[in-house]
Structure 1
Amino acid sequence: MPKFQFEAMDATGQEIRDVIEAATQEEAEQTIRQMGYYITRIAPQKEKKEKTAKAKSRKTFSIGRVNAKTLTTFTKQLSVLQDAGLPILRSLKILEAQAKPSLFGSLKNCLIDVIEEIEGGATLSEAMAKAPKAFDRLYVNMVKAGEAGGALEVILRRLAEFQERSLWLKRKVKGALVYPIAVIVFACLILTFIMIKIVPQFQKIFEEFETDLPVPTQILINVSQTVIHWWFLLPGIPLGIWLFIKLVNMFPYCRFGWDLFKLRLPIFGQLVEKNIIARTTRTLGTLVASGVPILEALTITRDTATNAVFERLYQRVLDAIREGETIAKPLKDNARPGFHPVTAFWFFFFLGGPIGLLLYLTRWNNPIMEDIAINMVDVGEETGELDTMLYKIADNYDEEVAIITESLLSLFEPVLIIVLGCMVGFIVIALFLPLIALIQKLSG
């Protein structure tokens, strides 16, 4: 007997999606009405192979994940359509139709897959879970909580606000980095040109007149010859260090040491630490406010930390809660990661040997989460407003990250100009010292 897939609304306005068997579509509609439902859409159920082939024909080649800006816009638009009372399937089809194909992270392809899954009887969260290039665990679990609580439009609005806030911070940091990066790239190009084209011309003059070269000039010529003959190896130095770090970090113990090194760095470590705290507390607050169970919320928060030190911290909080403790106590008990040999090695390697090691020894026992943040979590648990307190912590740390970033860049720009000025000054002095001696020799 033919099957008909339908969407309808019951007497309370709740959306119903189901499949019914009937000899004809008219008979199916009559049966649905007898059940007390108002039909909004009905169509013969297509065969899976037919639907899959049709969906694949509409998809384009794409690689990578959907970018944050595109996903944020989609979430806001879906929230608006749900507020307007449109069925979820129709909302998704509207957004899929207006989405543009993209080579890098195509949202359109993901929506085609989601629509196909929903038409096959899956819920929105189940369908989104099968499109990981667009929807991560945080997104899927929040949608799942919204479906369970019957407040999907509220959850989507909250999720859009979360994404907008995260996107705002990323844009602020990236925008602040544009100028110094542009200056560094331009300076490197100019210095490379000087080393390859200008310095060799002066070297020929000095050799023709057999001029005695002072130490700065000899250093400059040696650097120039190195750049000319071994230029293809120069990019290999930072690339080799990067590959070595990646290789070492394949081992969990070493990855923990590297991530702890980033947190213990002077000034920059604070920036990394506060950024992670802001992101994880906002994630946890959003999940708790959306009704996601605390164990699941902490698991997702742990997985989104992207730092082994904080992953271990949240895992220990998770273990403590399973044993009946609160969140604040294990946060405080485990806020000090302790001494780590790999971290000490990186300080020695990158920050001047014994000086770097001494610097680490003065910082190794600092907590990675401040008491004020832990106390706010404690108050939130006692008053039953944990999500509100987590939002406040995240807002506070977001502002601190923005302030620290701006302060560092305002300091970095004049330092960069001074360093470049010193380099140019060294080149000028190194080239003109023998020229002065040569002029004196010729005039004498």
Structure 2
Amino acid sequence: MNKEKLRKADMYEVLEGKIVNKVRSLFCEKRNLVIRRCADEKQVSFIARSLGEMYKDGITINKAITLVGESVSHKEYKNSLKTIHSAIHNGKGLSEAFKECTPLYPELFIGLIFIGENTGKLYEILKRLGNFYEKICEIKNEVKMACIYPLFIIISIISFIGIFICKIIPSFYGIYNSMGITPSYFYRCVYNFQDNFTESYFVNMTYVLCWTVIWFMTIKFMISNGKFDFFLKVGLIKDVLEYITILIFSIITNSGINILHGLELCSNNIKPEFLNSKILEIRKSIMKGKTLSESLEESMLLSNYTLAVIKVREETGSIAEGFEILSIRLEGEIHKKIRNYLKALNPLLIIVMGTIVLIFISVFVLPLFKELQSGIR
């Protein structure tokens, strides 16, 4: 009887453990849906480059993953490398092992590694992947750094206008009334707006926030559904998209894989969605029998100079080298344009700040001094 009770107790413990694990896994899945993880280009670049160098030096992949895991400081990627190490130890291939950590490693990354495993070009592909994600990371960081100062100035302007409308205007309005001065029409309009806004502050703030969210969602919807043509009129955005396109084709052609297969791996793995849809269009165009240069021309992603270089390189059979040269040239142009935009934007923002201060002095301060002078006389 005691043995049977012990067996039942063990069975209940096992069943309870399974239920707990199932609940945990479901919770983790739901959490990942809410807090969506995505690949960190810096970490992916470091891992790909390090694995490639160690593999070239004759270190086994499993050992290389252990060594790279010791060098990675990012907690999620460190844990992912442990998972990959265990998967390879259990007999899985490198690409299959990376698949177990898909949110952290893009499918393009995994797909190209699979090709590298089967074509004997694993080192070349790992090296190219490392360079690719490093360049993407550099461009993102450059754009972020370029936006910090203008964003700070814009926030300062908005804060100044907010304080000006909510605090300064009511104070000056009270001074005008006490001195018997009739404020200007513009002053009265601003004061009435401020007065009406503060009367129903929470309602009006909710209204403003709702419209902000609506505009944000509309722009996001336009971008995700390919309605990106308006943004292509901005030179810097067009150059960045062109650069990413050239990088994608550079890694595909230099890895020695079929372009159609490479573009298939890219499908649904390129951001933004607009660029992803263009890549799919290029693939469909090539499948219809058109040349690469013709397909790229139809996409309207590349400049005339870039298309001319690709066409010449395609005819001479040096397309891979052509994409490599173009990527270096475009990278330099983007850095130069970002610096030029900053040079032009900074004085413009300072002029805006100065204009606001000038309007404040001329509309609100000078009339007060004039009345004071007339009172003294």
- Give the shorter-chain TM-score range: 0.7 to 0.9
How many corresponding residue pairs? 345
Aligned residues of 2:121 and 2:255 also touching (Cα < 8 A): no
CA distance in 2 between counterparts of 1:134 and 1:201 reads 55
> Are residues 1:122 and 2:53 paired?
no
> Are residues 1:294 and 2:259 paired?
yes
CA distance in 2 between counterparts of 1:196 and 1:75 reads 54
1:98-137 per-position Cα deviation (integer Å, ceiling 9, x unaligned): 44464xxx21232233223223322111221232222112
Cα 1:327–1:398 change in 2 (3 A) is same
CA distance in 1 between counterparts of 2:273 and 2:248 reads 17
> Are residues 1:164 and 2:164 paired?
no
Q: 2:360 aligns with which of 427, 437, 440?
A: 427
> Are residues 1:68 and 2:33 paired?
no
CA distance in 1 between counterparts of 2:284 and 2:211 reads 43
Superposed structure 1 runs of 4+ greater than 6 Å apart: none
CA distance in 2 between counterparts of 1:320 and 1:191 reads 52
Cα 1:411–1:83 change in 2 (3 A) is same
Aligned twin of 1:239: 213
CA distance in 1 between counterparts of 2:181 and 2:291 reads 78
Aligned residues of 2:41 and 2:136 also touching (Cα < 8 A): no
Q: 3-state SS of the aligned residue for 1:320? A: helix
Aligned twin of 1:144: 114
CA distance in 1 between counterparts of 2:74 and 2:142 reads 28
Cα 1:127–1:381 change in 2 (3 A) is same
Q: 2:61 aligns with which of 88, 106, 112?
A: 88
TM-aligned CA deviation for residue 416 of structure 1: 0.7
Cα 1:244–1:170 change in 2 (3 A) is closer
Aligned residues of 1:196 and 1:227 also touching (Cα < 8 A): no
TM-score (norm 1): 0.69
CA distance in 2 between counterparts of 1:212 and 1:240 reads 40
Q: Which consecutive unaligned segments of at least 5 residues does structure 1 have?
A: 1-48, 336-366
CA distance in 1 between counterparts of 2:262 and 2:196 reads 55
Aligned residues of 1:287 and 1:297 also touching (Cα < 8 A): yes
Cα 1:307–1:81 change in 2 (3 A) is closer
CA distance in 1 between counterparts of 2:53 and 2:99 reads 22
TM-aligned CA deviation for residue 390 of structure 1: 1.4
> Are residues 1:411 and 2:344 paired?
yes
Within a 5 Å distance, the mapping from 1:303-322 to structure 2 comes to 303-306=268-271, 310-322=275-287
Q: Which consecutive unaligned segments of at least 5 residues does structure 2 have?
A: 1-17
Aligned twin of 2:6: none
CA distance in 2 between counterparts of 1:168 and 1:279 reads 12
TM-aligned CA deviation for residue 404 of structure 1: 1.8
CA distance in 1 between counterparts of 2:248 and 2:223 reads 26
Cα 1:192–1:281 change in 2 (3 A) is same
TM-score (norm 2): 0.80
Cα 1:226–1:306 change in 2 (3 A) is farther
Q: 3-state SS of the aligned residue for 2:249? A: helix
CA distance in 1 between counterparts of 2:193 and 2:82 reads 57
Question: Which one has the bigger strand percentage?
Answer: 1
Q: Read off the aligned partner of 2:48 and give its amino acid letter.
A: T
Aligned residues of 1:195 and 1:227 also touching (Cα < 8 A): no
Aligned residues of 1:110 and 1:133 also touching (Cα < 8 A): no
Aligned residues of 1:162 and 1:286 also touching (Cα < 8 A): yes
CA distance in 1 between counterparts of 2:74 and 2:56 reads 27
Aligned residues of 2:241 and 2:301 also touching (Cα < 8 A): no
Aligned residues of 1:285 and 1:387 also touching (Cα < 8 A): yes
CA distance in 1 between counterparts of 2:221 and 2:291 reads 38
> Are residues 1:181 and 2:146 paired?
no
Cα 1:433–1:409 change in 2 (3 A) is same
Q: Read off the aligned partner of 1:164 and give its amino acid letter.
A: E
CA distance in 2 between counterparts of 1:98 and 1:313 reads 37
Within a 5 Å distance, the mapping from 1:11-410 to structure 2 comes to 64-100=37-73, 102=75, 106-225=76-195, 228-229=198-199, 230=201, 232-233=205-206, 234-246=208-220, 255-256=225-226, 258-264=227-233, 269-301=234-266, 303-306=268-271, 310-332=275-297, 334-335=298-299, 367-410=300-343
Aligned twin of 1:348: none
Cα 1:259–1:192 change in 2 (3 A) is same
CA RMSD, aligned part only?
Answer: 3.0
Cα 1:243–1:172 change in 2 (3 A) is closer
**Larger relative contact order (Cα-Cα within 8 Å, sequence gap ≥ 6):** 2
Aligned residues of 2:106 and 2:269 also touching (Cα < 8 A): no
Aligned residues of 1:302 and 1:310 also touching (Cα < 8 A): no
1:381-437 per-position Cα deviation (integer Å, ceiling 9, x unaligned): 222221111122222222222222221111111111111111121122221143134
Cα 1:185–1:91 change in 2 (3 A) is same
Q: 3-state SS of the aligned residue for 2:228? A: helix
CA distance in 1 between counterparts of 2:46 and 2:277 reads 33
Cα 1:312–1:95 change in 2 (3 A) is closer
TM-aligned CA deviation for residue 212 of structure 1: 0.6
Q: 3-state SS of the aligned residue for 1:180? A: helix
Cα 1:177–1:434 change in 2 (3 A) is same
Aligned residues of 1:145 and 1:290 also touching (Cα < 8 A): no
Q: Read off the aligned partner of 1:176 and give its amino acid letter.
A: A
Aligned residues of 1:139 and 1:159 also touching (Cα < 8 A): yes
